[in-house]
Structure 1
Amino acid sequence: MAAAQGHLSEGPDDADGEGSPSVFRQAVAGLQGVRLRPEIELDATPPPQRLAPFSYALEAAVVVDDEELADGRLILLHDPAGHEAWGGTFRLVTLVHADLEPEMAADPLLPEVCWSWLTGALEARRVPYGAPSGTVTRASSHYFGGLREREPSTRIEIRASWSPVEPAGAGAAAPAARAARWARRAR
Structure 2
Amino acid sequence: MAAAQERLSDDAGGTDNGEGVPGGNPADAGPPAFRAAVDAVRTARLRPGVEIEPVRPPRRLAPHAYAWEAAVVDGDEDLADGRLVLLHDPAGHDGWRGTFRLVTLVRAELEPEMAADPLLPEVCWSWLTGALEGRGLTYGEPSGTVTRAGSHYFGGLARRPATSQIEIRASWTPEEGDRGVPDTAAHLTAWCDLLGQVAGLPPSPSADASVVTLPQRRGPQTS
TM-score by length of 1: 0.85
Q: From 16, 22, 28, give the equivalent of 1:17.
A: 28
**Residue type of the alignment partner of 1:97:** R
2:166 partner SS? strand
State the distance in 1 between where 2:161 and 2:94 align.
46
Q: Distance in 2 between matches of 1:74 and 1:31?
A: 12
Q: Does 2:159 align with 1:149?
A: yes
CA-to-partner distance for each residue in 1:120-168, whole Å, 9 max, x for gaps?
A: 11111110000000000000000112322221100000001000124xx
**SS of the residue 1:177 aligns to:** coil
Q: Helix, strand or coil for the counterpart of 2:150?
A: strand
- Which consecutive segments of 4 or more residues in structure 1 shift more than 6 A? none
Q: Distance in 1 between matches of 2:117 and 2:53?
A: 33
**Which structure has more strand as a fraction of its residues?**
1
Structure 1: 5+ residue stretches without partners: 1-9
Q: CA RMSD in A?
A: 1.8
Query: Matched residues in 2 for 1:180 and 1:44: separation?
Result: 14
**How many angstroms does 1:88 deviate by?**
0.5
For 2:186, which of 173, 176, 181 is the aligned residue?
181
Q: Distance in 2 between matches of 1:159 and 1:14?
A: 28
> Which SS does the other structure have where 1:181 is aligned?
helix
Structure 2 contact 67–86 (Cα < 8 Å) conserved: yes
Structure 2 residue corresponding to 1:76, chosen from 58, 79, 86: 86
Helix, strand or coil for the counterpart of 1:123? helix
Alignment map for 1:20-99 (pairs within 5 Å): 20-99=30-109
Instruction: Give the C-alpha shift of residue 14 in structure 1.
Output: 6.7
Structure 1 range deviating more: 93-102 or 31-40: 31-40
Question: Structure 2 residue aligned with 1:118, among 128, 141, 154?
Answer: 128
Q: Decide whether aligned partners of structure 1 residues 13 and 84 sit closer, same or farther in structure 2, where only a CA change above 3 A counts.
A: farther
Length, aligned pairs only = 172
Which structure 2 residue ranges, 5 or more long, are not aligned?
1-20, 193-223
